[in-house]
Chain A
């Protein structure tokens, strides 16, 4: 069975600083994707970044980047130059070729202090 673990229920960062959110996963599949989703107070799920497991290069999207350690099954999200609008719940998720459904972690609530 696939599982996704986010061990940080809450994190806080000062505006303009950098923060890293942790995520580990377990899977028996060789073909899978990993995602970070943002859920602001509006509760609309927004895709932040995604990583294909077969790609060694870490994905980046502007201020967001991941550290994908496949052997360790770790997939952390780094947010640089944090902004007030980054405050939200962040969910790590996995989808495997065989299962086909997104499996979400429990989420990390990120607060950004001005």
Chain B
């Protein structure tokens, strides 16, 4: 299957700082990328969907000014957590799909564990 990478795999930052997480599709062009958040022992919650070259579509309750998503190329999307606070500590997972059609498989990155002190 196709490979999606995330960097960094884990990050610890101080409260009030910003953190950027990168998501790359290594061997395919990702027309659509998704960002999920997963709290311990819980399911994946979709934060936003982004199509290459377009603004991201955020799910209800997700602050777009806090979680900045950029999908500038067909192989790279970034999530920036601005002015991070301890409650933003979580596991963030990206996934990528080669087309907008739902018949195209979504491939998941390995996730990024964010800890805000």
Please, how many angstroms separate the alpha-carbon atoms of A46 and B108 in the complex? 8
B114 within 8 Å of A by Cβ? Answer: no
Contact A43 B111 (CB under 8 A): yes
With both beta carbons as reference points, the residue of chain B lying nearest to A100 in the complex is identified as B102
Interface: B42 (CB within 8 A): yes
A100 to B105, CA, bound (A): 12
Chain A positions 1 through 39: 1 when the CB is less than 8 Å from some CB of chain B, otherwise 0? 000000000000000000000000000000111000000
Is the pair B43, A32 in contact by a Cβ cutoff of 8 Å? no
Q: Which of A77-103 contact B (CB under 8 A)?
A: 91, 95-97, 100-103
Q: Does B44 contact A (CB under 8 A)?
A: yes
Within 8 A of A (CB), among B72-117: 91, 93, 95, 100, 102-103, 105-106, 108, 110-111
Of A42, A45, A95, which contacts B102 at CB under 8 A?
A95
Q: How far is the CA of A97 from the CA of B101 in the complex (A)?
A: 8
By a CB distance below 8 angstroms, the chain B residues around A96 are 102
Determine the chain A residues whose CB is within 8 A of the CB of B46 once the complex forms.
101-103
Number of interface residues of B (CB under 8 A): 20
A91 interface neighbour in B43, B49, B102, B103, Cβ under 8 Å? B43
Nearest Cβ on chain B to A10's Cβ, whole angstroms: 11
Q: A33-B103, A42-B110, A44-B108 are in contact. Are A101 and B44 (CB under 8 A)?
A: no
Q: Judge if B34 is at the interface, Cβ distance under 8 Å.
A: yes
Besides the known contacts A43-B38, A44-B108, A102-B46, 6 further A-B residue pairs in the complex with CB atoms under 8 A apart: A44-B110, A50-B105, A101-B49, A104-B44, A107-B42, A107-B43
Can you name 30 A-B residue pairings with CB atoms under 8 Å?
Answer: A32-B102, A43-B38, A43-B93, A43-B110, A43-B111, A44-B108, A44-B111, A45-B44, A45-B93, A45-B95, A45-B108, A46-B108, A47-B1, A47-B105, A91-B43, A91-B44, A95-B102, A96-B102, A97-B102, A100-B32, A101-B34, A101-B46, A101-B49, A102-B44, A102-B46, A104-B43, A104-B44, A106-B43, A107-B42, A107-B43
